[in-house]
Amino acid sequence: MALRGVRVLELAGLAPAPLCGMILADFGARVVRGDRPGGAAPAPDVQGRGKRSLALDLKRPQGAAALRRLCRAADVLVEPFRHGVMEKLGLGPEVLLRENPRLIYARLTGFGQTGKYAKSAGHDINYLALSGVLSMLGRKDENPHPPINLLADFAGGGVMCAMGIVIALYERTTSGRGQIIDASMVKGAAYLSSFLWKSQSLGFWCRPRGENLLDSGAPFYEIYKTSDGKFMAVGALEPQFYMQFINGLGLDSDELPAQMSISDWPKMKKKFASIFAQKTQAEWCTIFDGTDACVTPVLSLDDVASHQHNKQRSSFIKNDEGEISPRPAPLLSRTPAVPSCRRDPFIGEHTEEILLEYGFTKEEIAKLHSDEVIEFRKLKANL
């Protein structure tokens, strides 16, 4: 795989950092998740695919010293703590990069390492709000509405951080030097919205929220309910696609207002909604599949893996416990990701083997264990 041989230490945190680590693991990196002993994880890591778990108490001097030693042999450290936490532990980038100048030190936080809110708590909704993106999301005459916690946490955070790590690893091939990555979810979400900023002069966003072309204002870029309580997504923006959409609905375009007659959009929405409500989702799929009307079913998580297109693409995988999840993306032609099909690791499951792999002796490991700096979790065989 593309990242084969890359050693990553990911300190346990909430959703964004685990996604970053899982992406790296999916594409071949050897990712070690540094967990807190006693099962005191911040939250269950449901993105532990392909990782191993090392239970290590960083608040103890011996634990911090052990992580410093691990970092000397690592390529990447991913840390998700607020500004100043790692410095208090004696594990700041100045220390670790001095001991390993090739280390990529990735700091994944909500507000970033500098600025007024650098030491403040927050969540996706706060980062999205500060990025300016949240003000654009929502329907007409309603409050701004965040799309779960996908944009700031995962796209602006986990994915952007993984991209930064890969870029830094690539640069290291010529310079031989590591560097610090300041991955802020606020800045990441704002960067994702570059199109919104750069398209303002085109008139896409000149009207209030929920009245524009792509924010649920247009009747041809909308979601409609079907007779069986399911939904169809319509994205018929271009005139030629809009004509196919109108034909699929059984309407005559000559008897309708012009597509871009904004004053008629609310009336057209009601008309389209009444038509969609007359057939089931499957019936609408029969009408629109194979056309360029840009109309597709809104699939539930229960249905998405069995949809014909997704099955043909092998877009979802099942682990050895029968859990279904998305296959890694994008697809590389020569070195594709080969995601692990094993269950996610238990906290401390691989502590001993990881320390041995990084050069600790069995005596050193035994001492760390007796001092309760590390934790083992031996799985009992089912007899």
Which sequence positions are flagged as catalytic?
A: 123, 153
Q: Which two tokens stand for residue 128?
A: 């999205």
**What three-state secondary structure class fits 366?**
helix
**What three-state secondary structure class fits 85?**
helix
Q: Which two tokens stand for residue 278?
A: 């007359």
Q: Which two tokens stand for residue 243?
A: 């004509």
DSSP state of 136: G
Cα 50 to Cα 194: distance, rounded to the nearest angstrom:
33
Cα 130 to Cα 124: distance, rounded to the nearest angstrom:
10
**What three-state secondary structure class fits 180?**
strand
Q: Where are the alpha helices (DSSP H) in 205-280?
A: 239-248, 265-276
β-strand 52-56 against 374-375: which pairing, if any? Answer: antiparallel
Q: Which of 26, 45, 17 shows the shortest CA–CA distance to 330? A: 26
Cα 229 to Cα 328: distance, rounded to the nearest angstrom:
31
**What three-state secondary structure class fits 317?**
strand
Place of tokens 């959009």: 265
Cα 235 to Cα 221: distance, rounded to the nearest angstrom:
4
β-strand 52-56 against 30-35: which pairing, if any? Answer: parallel
Strands (DSSP E) contained in the chain are 7-11, 30-35, 52-56, 76-79, 104-109, 179-184, 221-225, 231-235, 295-297, 316-318, 324-326, 374-375
Cα 31 to Cα 7: distance, rounded to the nearest angstrom:
6
Place of tokens 């309708």: 256
The contacts of residue 150 (CB under 8 Å, 6+ apart) are 124
CA angle, residues 124, 129, 132, in degrees to nearest 5:
125
Place of tokens 């700091």: 107
